[in-house]
Amino acid sequence: MTKRTARTKLSKLEYEVKLVEKCLAGDNPAWAELQRDYGGVVAYHVQKLPRDEREDALSRVWLHLMDNDYRPLHAWEKRSSLGTWMDRVARNKVCDILRAKCKTPPVETFG
């Protein structure tokens, strides 16, 4: 049985819950599956940043989800789909990055 077949036998919510549980248990293939399934949601928000900052921002979003023993992933309350929640996390992290850029004082040059 392929992964696609296994996935269709579960409801979307059941699939997402099992995927998150596996990630929280340290299952690396499940983490790779999470990144594959929801990477587009994360990339959508990262694309709004300047080109030279996108790769770093993408890493920051994924690292944020892994931070403190996957604490942010524990926070998903299943009131919305995992994709909707990931969209919110990615958007908020990109906003954090932009806010931090605005707080950085410009470098003064004396000429």
The pLDDT tens digits of the residues spanning 63-87 come to 988 887 778 888 899 989 999 999 9
Residue 5: the pLDDT is 47
pTM: 0.75
Which of 27, 42, 25 lies closest to 82, judged by CA? 42
The reported pLDDT for the residue numbered 1 is 45
Separation between Cα atoms, residue 80 and residue 37, nearest integer Å: 16
- Cα 18–30–19 angle (5° rounding)? 15
Give me the residues of the chain with pLDDT under 70, please.
Answer: 1-8, 104-107, 109-111
